[in-house]
A and B are shown apart, each in its own frame.
Chain A
């Protein structure tokens, strides 16, 4: 158990809808990263939040957005869902200190299916 939780576990949406995924980070961690993992592939970096600001972004369109709250929990929002958005969405929390980032601890993921 990493102490990182995600909700919901599974989610089914239709094309064009919007979705919000949630992540609670491990105690003492100040950084949250989000990843998209398609079946049979490695996770793809979406973005990272540090102290409530986006700090690093992968090759994902603006319809992927996020938030980090003062308690360091985080949300991933995806607008105008497409079929290719179907994937396992993982969040990872870590502690950043003076420019270095420690081990990332992953949550169990949210399985999103877009029909």
Chain B
């Protein structure tokens, strides 16, 4: 049974800091891993998708890596801004086309 864990649960950083969010999964047989952002009371916004054959993806200030052998993915955010404040969720898609989410990391960037 696939389990996804995100560390830390919450994070508060000053504006401009570079930061790393961690995601671990127990079953390495994943099809892809996706990172999302969720603002309070809203739906999810897709940030990056890494297919199982890929090692990383980049979009602007965001970089996500995937290491299937160790069951880990990281989301790197460069030069954080107050607008980055949100909950960040990772999700692993596995056999049977199930998608398992972590509980998320709540990020607060102080101006």
Q: Residues on A close to B: CB < 8 A?
A: 2, 4, 31, 33, 35, 40-45, 48, 50, 55-58, 88, 90, 92, 96, 100-109, 111
Bound Cα distance from A35 to B93, whole angstroms: 13
Q: Residues on B close to A: CB < 8 A?
A: 4, 31-32, 34, 36, 41-46, 49, 51, 89, 91, 93, 96-104
Distance (Å) between the CB of B51 and the closest chain A CB?
7
Distance (Å) between the CB of B105 and the closest chain A CB?
10
Residue of B nearest to A100 (CB): B31
Contact assessment for B45 and A58 in the assembled complex, using a CB-CB cutoff below 8 Å: no
9 of the cross-chain contacts (CB-CB < 8 Å) are A2-B46, A42-B89, A42-B102, A43-B44, A44-B101, A56-B97, A101-B31, A106-B45, A108-B43
Contact assessment for B103 and A41 in the assembled complex, using a CB-CB cutoff below 8 Å: yes
Residue of B nearest to A88 (CB): B41
Q: Is the interface of A mostly helix, strand, loop or mixed?
A: strand
Distance (Å) between the CB of A46 and the closest chain B CB?
10
Query: Given the known A-B contacts A42-B89, A50-B97, A103-B49, are A109 and B102 also in contact in the complex, defined by CB atoms under 8 Å?
Result: no
Q: Which residues of B contact A40 (CB under 8 A)?
A: 103
Bound Cα distance from A58 to B32, whole angstroms: 18
Contact assessment for A55 and B97 in the assembled complex, using a CB-CB cutoff below 8 Å: yes
Contact assessment for B46 and A104 in the assembled complex, using a CB-CB cutoff below 8 Å: yes
Contact assessment for B43 and A107 in the assembled complex, using a CB-CB cutoff below 8 Å: yes
Candidates A42, A50, A58, A102; contact of B49 at CB < 8 Å: A102
Residue of B nearest to A92 (CB): B44
Contact assessment for A101 and B44 in the assembled complex, using a CB-CB cutoff below 8 Å: no
11 further interface pairs, Cβ-Cβ under 8 Å (given A41-B103, A48-B98, A106-B36): A42-B104, A43-B44, A43-B101, A48-B99, A88-B41, A96-B97, A100-B51, A103-B49, A106-B43, A107-B43, A109-B42
Candidates A101, A102, A106; contact of B97 at CB < 8 Å: A101
Residue of B nearest to A59 (CB): B1
